[in-house]
Every structure is written in C-alpha cells, then in structure tokens.
Structure 1
Amino acid sequence: MPSTDRRRFLSSAVLGGTAVAGATALGSLAPETAFAAPRIDLDPGARDPNFAEGRITAISGSLLKVSGSDKALHRVYVTHGTSVWKLRPTTFDEIKVGDGLYARGVKMPDGALAADAVWVNIVNLDAAITAIDSGRLHLDHHGNKVVGHVVTGTTAAVYNHTPAISDLSGLQVGKHVKVIGAWRPDTNEVDIATVYAGI
C-alpha cells in the first residue's frame, strides 16, 4: 500500500472512518517485525517518524501517551485498524498503563502516530539457559538473570530454522538461545512466545 494511501486510511480510522483492516494487511504483526531495522537516514541522530517506543503513561480513549526511552513524548492512536500483539495477537483492552510499547504507523499532521501495529511489552533476548524446571527457563542475559515462563498453547520452539513446534524438549542447559516474549513490567520475568535454539 503506497504511503499516501496508508496515511489516508489511518487518518480516516483516527478521525472516525469506518475502514477496518489490520497491520496484517499493511505489514506483518509477527513479533520479529517489531525489531525490524529502522529506516536509513543520512542523519544518524534522526528518529524514524513512523515509529514510537517507550512506556505507556496514560490511556485516554484510543490515545496512548508514551514516554520514550530517549525522553521523547509520543502520542499513539490505536484504531479499529490497528493490530495489537501482547504475547499473541490480542485487543486494545489488554493494553495497560505501565506497559512497554513499540508501535509502527503513520505520523499524523498533529504529530501523533496513527499505529497500524502495536507490540506491547515485547522483548528480544539473546541468553544462555542456566536451568530448566517445570514451566520455566532460567536465563542469563548479559549477566542479568531472567525467568522465562512457558505459556501453554502459546510458547513454541524453533530448532535450526525449522517450523515452530510446542515441544521444548530439545532445549539444553548451557546452550544459547534467542527468546521473543512479553516482559512482565518491573520484574525480571518474561512470558515466552518463541525460543530459537540450535541442536
């Protein structure tokens, strides 16, 4: 979808239009997409105007107020056309004040971002497995201890780039893994969506 069409679509959604489509129509909602490389800019200090990240400080109707990690303040509109991920595809009512947020969309004339995709509390960890017990992986992420919770019906493993499966028996203590999951705010715990491992 050309950027002018996308802007028109999201503008109508923010302003009360009836068009309904999700990020799945405008781009992938897969959690890995949240970490896609930012646009290339000749000014290395320039921010991507179509991206916002930080912690949600307030929710007013469909507007999220977000304090960025770089101290920038963002306003993010979530519309009927916005796809929401929080460990799995979900709905706006699962978003809470205090949650972390990544959002991609289109910058509106008033400076707010009309989001076509929002990822809530998403984390991407490179870690070593230090222990495995019932329903949990204990991880070392650059010297920080992280507890990864296995979520029945959601958590999957990818071994050597094969399709994702629910069988985690191939995971081994001492091995390095990549974990995509949802952070439990203000803790060292995550709910695991996908763990990538070699065998």
Structure 2
Amino acid sequence: MGLIARGIIMVLLAVVTIVAIPLTLIFLPLRKLITGQSDAVDPAALAEFERGYDAIKGGDASALSALAAEIEGFPARKDRFLCRTWLNTAVSEGAPETVRWMLARGVEVNYFDEEGLSPLQTAVSREDDAAREVAEILIAAGAEVNAKGTLDVTALHTAAALGSEDVVRLLLEHGADAGALTSDYVPERPADWAERAGREQIARLLRASASASPGG
C-alpha cells in the first residue's frame, strides 16, 4: 500500500477514535488492510474482548483485577479481537478510573498503535467531560506531550481539530508546541488544523501561543 493511501486510512481511523467501540467495529476492514489480519472472527477472542470492554467501561477495580488473572496480557498488551491495546480502548472510552488502574500496574504510556495514535492523542480527540481528566492522568504518568506520530502529528494537532478548547489549553500548559509542523505534503501547525475544522477560537489561541514561543 502506498504512503498516501496509508496516510488517508490513518486519518480516518484517528477520527473513528472519538466515538464508541461499536462504530470502530465498522472500520475493521481498514484495520485489516493495515495490519494484515484475516477476515475470520475468533469467537473466543470476541467474547474475551467483550468481557474486557465491559470491565473497562465499568471501571470496577475488582472486575479488572479478575480479568488480569484470567486474560493473558491484560491490561499491558493488545486484545486478541481488535489487536488494539487495552489502554487505548480505556482512553477512547473516557474511562478515567480504568486508566488509573492500568497505569498503576505499569502499563506503558508512550507508544503509537497501528493507527499512529498515542494514548494521549486518543484522549484529546474527545470533547466530552472525561477528556481533560484522562489527558491529565496520562500526562501525570509521563505521557510525552510533543511526541510525534504518523506524519509527525502531535497531540496538539489532534486536539485542535477534534478536542475541546479546555484540552487544548491543558496541553499548552504542559509545554505542547503550538508551532509543531506535520511532515505531510503541505506541513501544517495545530492552528491550521483548527482552522480547517472551523474552530476559529481555538485557532486564534494556538496562533497566539505559537507567536509567543521562542522562534515563533
């Protein structure tokens, strides 16, 4: 698959991250195109995922601990159905208690999954009430605010286009670089992403921040 096609797919999957898992399942063919998964569904893997998903949404420590004893690789690795990290599932579902529970057990916070998303990028792509709380938890656990994913996209780029102004301000407070450029055909700053998404207030905030930065 060519770089451009892969980039398009990555962007589509990044957008899907902001909605619930059922919609993510609709995009399984895209994930299979990237990862090479087969079309066959393993019933045991699906059942395992559903149990994990329910526990993640519930955020009950005893239920999560029981799964850790039963499911190999839970919560540190990927599930066997979507082949997605359990942490990214918890983050995408806006489950702060589960995210805290996972991080307390040493789950890695700095990585990029097959879609080129870090847990922090996944967190800030949401506008709901849990987004800031989850992002704060990840940053406190050592998430790298300026880490670059596919095409050098940062968490601030993602938040500029998809997240809330509150989350954008949180990232800036923690040293996010408003002048960071993507490595796409036309390099863009977070403010450019906000502007293209019709988010002028966030774009103005980011332009002001970039201007105030050294070299801005």
Shorter chain as denominator, the TM-score bin is under 0.3
More helix by share: 2
More strand by share: 1
- Relative to the length of structure 2, the TM-score reads 0.25
- Relative to the length of structure 1, the TM-score reads 0.26
Relative contact order higher in (CA < 8 Å, ≥ 6 apart): 1
